[in-house]
């Protein structure tokens, strides 16, 4: 005797769904191959750079002197010494640059989103920021040279470098602030207004804290980017093998400048310094990116 369940297992009509056709299987496989290959092609140079950097740059870094000594008193052909002077220079120049770019850039971003909206001033500012963000770093260097050194008559210095880096970092900070403020929902602003909170206080206490995580991340990434800039350094400050804490006076080393200078001395020690400084720079930038992730997690809006 046939049961009802047996009937259910027998299809009553032709199946509505067909098997995957051979053509589609082939196309799928071909696409998979193409995408995987593109990924590998993109990743190989990246890994290659990292491996080369580690191979050649790691030995100097394993020496304790590398982190707390300069090259002061050493000949270009001497091994030993360290990168401390260049770390000091890079970090000081970047921090002073941030000191100018961050307040200025965040303020401009707030103006553009919260006050300017579609005013002519805001449109002009946006246009200028667009131009600035496409500015080649060598031009930023030349401009500061013409303004700060030729026109105002100051000496070449680490501070001049900081000024040129401001031109490069400012558009990054403005952009980040704009983007982050734009994604703060208007409902939050309205909720605050409806409580009788003035606009400036709404921006300061409601809008900015909500956007803070993104702004801080953007600033850190901008900082990481300008640390690797080299062109303005070549124009605006002399290289020094000694430690110089003073941004306003005398030659000052930095990591990119050390790489550049060491490459010019065609000695084995020069190569040792060059790769060491290059790896140090990459590690410093990686550290900052890592810090950016941590900071953004710390400031992120919490839901638990």
Partner 1 sequence: MAKRLDIKDLNLHYGKFHAVEDVTLQVQARSVTSFIGPSGCGKSTVLRALNRMHEVIAGARVDGKVLLDGEDIYAPSVDPVQVRRTIGMVFQRANPFPTMSIRDNVVAGLKLTGEKNKKKLDEITERSLRSANLWEEVKDRLHKPGGSLSGGQQQRLCIARATAVQPDVLLMDEPCSALDPISTLAIEDLIAELKKDYTIVIVTHNMQQAARVSDQTAFFNLRAVGEPGQLVEIEETGKLFSNPNQKATEDYISGRFG
11 contributes a contact to partner 1 by CB under 8 A? no
- Interface with partner 1, residue 303, by CB under 8 A: yes
Using CB under 8 A as the binding rule, the residues of this chain from 235 to 294 that contact partner 1 are none
Segment lying near partner 1 (by CB under 8 A), choices 154-162, 165-173, 201-209, 276-284:
201-209
Each residue 96-135 as x (binds partner 1 by CB under 8 A) or -, in order, gives ---------------------xx-----------------
* Of 4 and 186, CB closest to partner 1: 186
Query: Does the footprint of partner 1 cover residue 182 (CB under 8 A)?
Result: no
Question: CB of 218: closest distance to partner 1 in angstroms?
Answer: 18
Residue range at the interface with partner 1 (CB under 8 A); choices 8-16, 18-26, 182-190, 216-224 = 182-190
Q: Candidates 36-44, 59-67, 184-192, 246-254: pick the segment binding partner 1 (CB under 8 A).
A: 184-192
Whose Cβ is closer to partner 1: residue 75's or residue 191's? 191
Work out which of 4, 7, 14, 187 binds partner 1, going by CB under 8 A. Answer: 187
Q: Please identify which residue in 101, 137, 192, 254 interacts with partner 1, judged by CB under 8 A.
A: 192
Size of the site for partner 1 (CB under 8 A): 26
Nearer to partner 1, 136 or 209 (CB): 209
Give the CA angle between residues 42, 47, 50 to the nearest 5°.
Answer: 135
Residue-by-residue DSSP string for the chain? ---HHHHHHS-SSS-SSPPPPHHHHHHHHHHHHHHHHHHHHHHHHHHHHHHHHHHHHHHHHTSTHHHH---TT--TT-----SHHHHHHHHHHHHHHHHHHHHHHHHHHHIIIIIITT-HHHHHHHHHHHHHHT--HHHHHHHHIIIIIIIS-PPP-HHHHHHHHHHHHHHHHHHHHHHHHHTS-HHHHHHHHHTT--HHHHIIIIIHHHHHHHHHHHHHHHHHHHHT--HHHHHH----SS----TTSS----HHHHHHHHHHS-SHHHHHHHHHHHHHHHHHHHHHHHHHHHHHHHHSPP--
The backbone torsions φ and ψ at residue 232, rounded to the nearest 5 degrees and listed phi first, read -60, -30
**Torsion angle (degrees, nearest 10) of CA 89, 235, 61, 95:** 30
Output the six-digit token pair for 182: 């734009």
Q: Which stretch binds partner 1 (CB under 8 A): 7-15, 143-151, 185-193, 240-248?
A: 185-193
Q: Using the rule CB under 8 A, is 193 a contact of partner 1?
A: yes
Smallest separation, CB 212 to partner 1 (Å):
8
* Residue span binding partner 1 (CB under 8 A) among the ranges 39-47, 167-175, 188-196, 236-244: 188-196
| Cβ atoms of residues 168 and 135 within 8 Å | yes
194 binds partner 1 (CB under 8 A): yes
Q: Please report how close the Cβ of residue 303 comes to partner 1 at its closest, in angstroms.
A: 4
Among 185, 246, 249, 290, binds partner 1 (CB under 8 A): 185
Given the rule CB under 8 A, which residues bind partner 1?
A: 117-118, 185, 187-198, 201-202, 205-206, 209-210, 212, 301-304
């Amino acid at each position: 005797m046939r049961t009802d369940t047996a009937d259910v297992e027998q299809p009553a009509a032709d199946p509505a769904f067909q098997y995957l056709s051979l053509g589609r299987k082939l196309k799928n496989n071909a696409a998979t191959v193409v995408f995987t290959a593109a990924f590998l092609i993109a990743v190989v140079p990246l890994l290659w750079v990292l491996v080369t950097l580690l191979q050649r740059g790691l030995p100097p870094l394993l020496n304790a002197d590398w982190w707390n000594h300069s090259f002061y008193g050493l000949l270009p052909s001497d091994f030993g010494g360290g990168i401390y002077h260049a770390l000091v220079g890079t970090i000081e120049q970047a921090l002073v640059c941030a000191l100018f770019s961050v307040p200025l850039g965040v303020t401009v971003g707030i103006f553009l989103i919260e006050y300017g909206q579609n005013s002519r001033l805001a449109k002009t500012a946006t246009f200028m920021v667009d131009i600035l963000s496409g500015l080649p770093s060598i031009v930023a260097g030349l401009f500061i040279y013409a303004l700060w050194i030729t026109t105002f008559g100051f000496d070449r210095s680490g501070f001049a470098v900081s000024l040129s880096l401001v031109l490069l970092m400012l558009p990054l900070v403005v952009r980040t602030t704009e983007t982050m403020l734009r994604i703060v929902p208007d409902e939050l602003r309205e909720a605050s207004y409806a409580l009788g909170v003035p606009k400036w206080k709404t921006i300061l206490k409601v809008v900015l804290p909500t956007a803070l995580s993104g702004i801080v991340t953007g600033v850190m990434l901008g900082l990481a980017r300008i640390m690797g800039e080299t062109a303005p350094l070549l124009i605006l400050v002399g290289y020094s093998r000694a430690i110089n804490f003073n941004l306003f006076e005398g030659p000052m080393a930095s990591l990119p400048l050390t790489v550049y200078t060491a490459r010019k001395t065609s000695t084995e020690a020069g190569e040792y310094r060059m790769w060491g400084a290059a790896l140090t720079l990459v590690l410093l930038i990686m550290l900052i990116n890592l810090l950016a992730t941590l900071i953004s997690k710390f400031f992120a809006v919490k839901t638990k």
